[in-house]
Amino acid sequence: MTLAYDLRDIANSTAKKFDHGEVTTLHVLFALKRLLPKELTSLDVLVIERELAKLPRAPAKALATSKEVEELLVQTDSIPKALEIAKSLGKSLLGIEIQVNAEVTVSDVSPEVLEKPKLEESLSKLNSLIGLGEVKSQVHKLISVHQANQVRFDQGLKRIPVGLHCVFTGSPGTGKTTVARCVAEMYHAIGLLPSSKVVETDRSSLVAGYVGQTALKVQDAIQSAMGGVLFIDEAYALTSDSGAGFGDEAVATLVKAMEDHRDSLAVIVAGYKEPMKQFVESNQGLKSRFQTFIDFPDYSAEDLTLIFAGLCQSHEMKFNHQVQERLLDYIKKSRPQGERGNARFIRNLFEKMYLALSYRAASDGKIEIHEVTEFSEVDIPELESAPSKIGFAP
């Protein structure tokens, strides 16, 4: 896909969204802002939307495109040229001087702006994840709904209201961040978002030490994620200071952005199931904007063994059938759940076993390559016994 192709796609979608029968240079300017948000930081998308709302409504099955627009789209064959056109349109259409972010160069622009991933590739990446059967099913259904809406929209029909925002619930290490990245790619692939980037953040990055600064930090995170997905881990922590005002300010700023940029930003919040339920219920704005809830169950012992095998493959390590059986038994008896379980438990286990292997290989004063490429049963740690209780019973 080329930059001009993506611009045309967004400009056409915008014209249909506002029930305009013709794609104009104003629609092109809007598309440029959506595709290049970091470069056009001084251009406010809301200013363009207000001007678009003033254009006469003339819904049509087929959009007309003026010769002027066609010539503009042909010229946007590179990012420098696109920025030049944006500056020219800003002055002629809005009467403003658009400042281009000098710190962003062409080399800084993510390739995803220029080339869309194929939906099949993104779905294949999702399907290749270990376990998560119900999660995969729900994501497939979510994408199907958005695809159906896009078909309706392309034919001049109204979309059925389904937001881009999602709530992922589950223990740490259950794949929430990984699936969020897959969803971002899919949204981009079917034309819902101009990029597939994911900006990951949490309370520590959003909440400041005093009221007033928090809104600015949240706005910075939103601006960084514009055009893609803002992923907020342990989002319930935003409201953990009930009454202090910091978290309330963060949530209020977030809710406004979710509404103002509902076509150019997807927010995915994640955390434990019950705290996330309370978080969403704590604010009417949040409650009305999150329609998709996906629960991530803890991995089974068999799934965790497969995750361990994947780590070994990616790090060029081997293990035999006996090690696999002993490992499965170890995981079952460890019962890893919640914060101490799931994929993080396996990563820690892998590191402990490699430490044991390395120490064993170095015991004779010389490490041979064959000694550090295959795990043995003796590398699996002993089960941790429950701490003894000394004293009187309560």
Highest mean pLDDT among 6-20, 38-52, 72-86, 271-285: 271-285
According to the model, what pLDDT value does residue 5 have? 65
CATH homologous superfamily of 119-296: P-loop containing nucleotide triphosphate hydrolases (3.40.50.300)
According to the model, what pLDDT value does residue 192 have? 84
Read off the pLDDT of each residue in 42-58 and give the average, rounded to a whole number.
Answer: 82
Residue 362: is its pLDDT beyond 50? yes
According to the model, what pLDDT value does residue 206 have? 76
Topology of domain 301-379, CATH: Helicase, Ruva Protein; domain 3 (1.10.8)
pTM beyond 0.75 = no
Topology of domain 3-113, CATH: Double Clp-N motif (1.10.1780)
389 or 54, higher pLDDT = 54
According to the model, what pLDDT value does residue 138 have? 94
According to the model, what pLDDT value does residue 2 have? 56
User: Would you place residue 386 in the very low, low, confident or very high pLDDT band (cuts 50, 70, 90)?
Assistant: very low
Q: List, in order, residues 6 or more apart from 279 with CB less than 8 Å away.
A: 235, 236, 238, 239, 269, 271, 286
Per the CB < 8 A criterion, the answer to whether 2 and 79 are in contact is no
314-336 pLDDT, tens digit per residue, is 899 999 999 999 999 999 988 87
According to the model, what pLDDT value does residue 391 have? 44
Read off the pLDDT of each residue in 342-370 and give the average, rounded to a whole number.
Answer: 90
Strand, coil or helix: 293: strand
Read off the pLDDT of each residue in 282-298 and give the average, rounded to a whole number.
Answer: 89
* Helix runs in the chain, H state only: 3-17, 25-35, 45-54, 67-75, 79-89, 119-127, 133-154, 176-189, 203-206, 213-225, 246-260, 273-281, 284-289, 301-314, 321-334, 342-361
According to the model, what pLDDT value does residue 247 have? 67
For the chain, domain boundaries: 3-113, 119-296, 301-379
According to the model, what pLDDT value does residue 107 have? 43
Residue 183: is its pLDDT beyond 90? yes
Residue 388: is its pLDDT beyond 70? no
pLDDT, the chain, mean = 82
240 or 352, higher pLDDT = 352
Q: Among residues of the chain, what percentage have pLDDT more than 70?
A: 86
The residue to which tokens 């799934």 are assigned: 303
